[in-house]
Amino acid sequence: MSSLKATVARGLEALGLHVEQDRGGLTVDDGLDGQRLSVRVDETERMVRVEGLICYPVDDFSPELSLAMDHLNRVRAGVCFAYLEAQRALAVFTSWSSPVRDPSPNQLHLLIGLVQEARGRDGPALERVAEGDGSWEEVKDPEPEPPGPGARTTGRRGARFTDEAPEFEAPTRQLGRATDVRGAVEPVTRRLEPEPLRTTTTRFSSTADGGDDDAWDQVFSGAGARDLATQRQDPPVTPRGGQDDEATVDEPPPSAPDEGFKPTSRTALQMAIQNVERREPERVDLSAARQRPARRFLVGLLKLAAFVGVAYVVIEFFVRPFVPHYFEWETWFPKEAEVDHRLVLREQASPKELLRLELEDPLDAEGLHEQYLTRALDGLGEELRGELELLVVGSPSGGTRAAALELWSRRGFAEAPGARLELLRRLVEAKRHEEPAEPVVPALLAAVRSNPPPDQQVAAALDWAKGDVWRTLVEVLARPGDGAEGRSAALARWLDRDTPDLLVLRSMVKTGFAPPDAATRLVVGNGVEWARGEGQALLVGFVTESPDGVAALSRHEDEAYRVLAVELLAAAGTPPAAERLARQPLRDASGAVRIKAAIALTKLAEPATTWPIAVELCRRGIDPALATELRSALQRIPPTESIQQLQPRLAHTRSPSERFVAIQALAALGTSGAASALVEALAEPDVNLRRTAAEKLDELGRSEVAKPGLNAHLPRLREVARTDPTPAVRQAIARVYRGMTGHDP
pLDDT tens, 389-421?
999 998 888 889 999 999 999 888 888 888 999
- Please tell me whether residue 430 adopts helix, strand or coil conformation: coil
333 φ, ψ to 5°? Answer: -130, 75
Q: Which of 82-91, 275-284, 431-440 has the lowest mean pLDDT?
A: 275-284
Amino acid at 731: Q
Q: Which of 27-31, 341-345, 640-644 has the lowest mean pLDDT?
A: 27-31
Count Cα atoms within 13 angstroms, Cβ side, for 317: 6
Give the separation between CA 222 and CA 71, rounded to whole angstroms.
Answer: 12
Residue 55's H or E segment, with its range, is strand 47-55
> Which pLDDT does position 277 carry in this prediction?
53
CA angle centred on 41, ends 39 and 45, rounded to 5°: 145
> Which pLDDT does position 689 carry in this prediction?
87
Q: Are 475 and 452 in contact (CB under 8 A)?
A: no
Domain 3-241 has CATH 3.30.1460.10: yes
Q: Are 624 and 675 in contact (CB under 8 A)?
A: no
CA angle centred on 276, ends 274 and 279, rounded to 5°: 115
- Please tell me whether residue 288 adopts helix, strand or coil conformation: helix
Judge residue 110's burial from the number of C-beta atoms within 10 Å of its C-beta, 0-12 exposed, 13-18 middle, 19 or more buried.
buried
Peptide bond into 57 cis (omega under 30): yes
Cβ neighbours around 147 below 10 Å, total: 16
- The pLDDT confidence band at residue 182, using thresholds 50, 70 and 90, is very low
- Please tell me whether residue 178 adopts helix, strand or coil conformation: strand
Q: Are 649 and 658 in contact (CB under 8 A)?
A: yes
638-745 fold: Leucine-rich Repeat Variant (1.25.10)
> Which pLDDT does position 678 carry in this prediction?
85
- The pLDDT confidence band at residue 279, using thresholds 50, 70 and 90, is low
Evaluate the CA torsion angle 519, 521, 523, 525 in order and state its sign.
negative
Convert the pLDDT of each residue in 296-308 to its tens digit.
Answer: 889 889 999 999 9
Cβ neighbours around 555 below 10 Å, total: 13
- Please tell me whether residue 40 adopts helix, strand or coil conformation: strand
Name the residue ranges covered by the structural domains of the chain.
Answer: 3-241, 516-616, 638-745
Q: Which residue has the higher pLDDT, 21 or 219?
A: 21
Q: Which of 47-61, 136-150, 505-519 has the lowest mean pLDDT?
A: 136-150
First to last CA, the chain: 116
Q: Would you say residue 336 has pLDDT above 90? A: no
Evaluate the CA torsion angle 435, 439, 443, 446 in order and state its sign.
positive
Across the chain, what does the average pLDDT equal? 76
Q: Would you say residue 533 has pLDDT above 70? A: yes
Convert the pLDDT of each residue in 584-638 to its tens digit.
Answer: 788 888 888 888 888 888 888 888 888 888 888 888 878 888 888 888 888 888 8
Q: Which residue has the higher pLDDT, 340 or 428?
A: 428
Give the separation between CA 706 and CA 274, rounded to whole angstroms.
Answer: 124
Q: Would you say residue 210 has pLDDT above 70? A: no
Return the axis-axis angle of helices 351-360 and 398-410, rounded to nearest 10°.
110
Give the separation between CA 139 and CA 112, rounded to whole angstroms.
Answer: 22
Q: What is the pTM of this model?
A: 0.40
Return the axis-axis angle of helices 559-572 and 536-545, rounded to nearest 10°.
70
Query: What are the residues whose beta carbons fall under 8 Å from the beta carbon of 509, sequence distance 6 or more?
Result: 518, 519, 522, 538, 539, 541, 542
Give the separation between CA 143 and CA 726, rounded to whole angstroms.
Answer: 156
CA 716 to the chain's CA centroid: 85
Tell me how far CA of residue 633 lies from CA of 306, 572, 636, in angstroms: 88, 18, 5
Q: Report DSSP letters for 585-598, one per residue.
A: GGG-S-HHHHHHHH
CA angle centred on 365, ends 359 and 367, rounded to 5°: 85
> Which pLDDT does position 408 carry in this prediction?
92
Q: For the chain, what's the residue count?
A: 745
> Which pLDDT does position 202 carry in this prediction?
36
Mean pLDDT within 446-474: 91
Q: Are 557 and 535 in contact (CB under 8 A)?
A: no
> Which pLDDT does position 280 carry in this prediction?
55
**What letter would DSSP give residue 413?**
G
Q: Are 618 and 648 in contact (CB under 8 A)?
A: no
Convert the pLDDT of each residue in 107-135 to its tens digit.
Answer: 888 888 888 888 888 888 888 888 888 78
- The pLDDT confidence band at residue 235, using thresholds 50, 70 and 90, is very low
Cβ neighbours around 405 below 10 Å, total: 25
